[in-house]
A and B are shown apart, each in its own frame.
Chain A
């Protein structure tokens, strides 16, 4: 299916958020949102993906 990840359209195999992170080989300190809603770490497996979904994956960064 085709979803948008951090603003970029992408074809993926995974059908939930946890599997998506594994498929894309994300590691470390991360937080996720699906269609602008925060998805906690322990709910990523339950967060099923469908065509057209928007996923945000964020990590620690510099800040003022």
Chain B
């Protein structure tokens, strides 16, 4: 049983709430996806109160909320955003992003470790958006993180798993740490592959929200994650170079 800070998730798909064509499509996509977690953010509120209707929709989804610190480039910014998120969303969960490069949106690992330590000391359950780097992962665990969220590829790129070797190494180096592949997923096959590699969940957003038919894609992602999970539990066969007949040879009629 995989626990994410003491919580068992019914579905291993975590879904973002951004960029959908409409709130109705967001809602429909979530229902079809059976996602167990919704990522959300905090943004400046105008007097018209645009954030409140959005919050009403999220509450109706009946899923766990994982606030992020998206867009934060410094430890101070990320930690302050986490404090604000804990108050608004009433959860110790925080998807911690400390961005180090504006083109790739890759994490600033040094800032991420520092912010993780500060937040775990204050009782936050940190989900750090990291890379597949083994040393960084070790430092994050040392900083108190109990879950890791390595990227598959840059956020929104849809490239899939850019460094499968690195991800495999990470999985086998820390077999007991719950890990979520976060970012870069474009296709259901990417999500399925992440689960086949033994990762515990997949977090994606753009692949569903920006698909021509987000609801259909949400359904596809849901099935892909389930298929990958079942596959990893079913102990798949090893690939081999030579053919081996699956139909019994014994008893074949002599006809030549």
Contacts and interface: CB of A to CB of B under 8 A. Distances in A.
Nearest to B68: A63
Given A58-B42, A63-B68, A29 B76 contact: no
A28 B87 contact: no
B205 A61 contact: no
B6 interface: no
Contacts of A24: 47
Contacts, number: 107
B43 A64 contact: no
Nearest to B66: A63
B47 A26 contact: yes
Given A61-B51, A64-B39, A64-B206, A40 B44 contact: no
Q: Count chain B CB atoms within 10 A of each CB in A24, A29, A37 and give the residue with the most.
A: A29
Interface majority SS (helix, strand, loop, mixed), chain B: mixed
Nearest to B89: A60
B162 interface: no
A58 B44 contact: yes
A15 B199 CA distance: 52
Contact of B51 (A40, A56, A59): A59
Contacts of B228: none
Contacts of A33: 80, 84
B54 A61 contact: yes
A61 B40 contact: yes
A41 B87 contact: yes
Nearest to A37: B80
B67 interface: yes
Interface residues of B, number: 36
Contacts of B155: 64
A26 B49 CA distance: 7
B39 A63 contact: yes
B223 interface: no
B51 A63 contact: no
25 contacts: A6-B44, A6-B45, A24-B47, A27-B49, A27-B52, A28-B52, A29-B52, A29-B88, A31-B83, A33-B84, A38-B87, A57-B44, A58-B88, A59-B43, A59-B51, A59-B52, A60-B55, A60-B58, A61-B40, A61-B42, A61-B54, A62-B16, A62-B17, A63-B40, A64-B19
Interface of B: 16-20, 39-47, 49-52, 54-55, 58, 67-68, 70, 76, 80, 83-85, 87-89, 155-156, 205-206
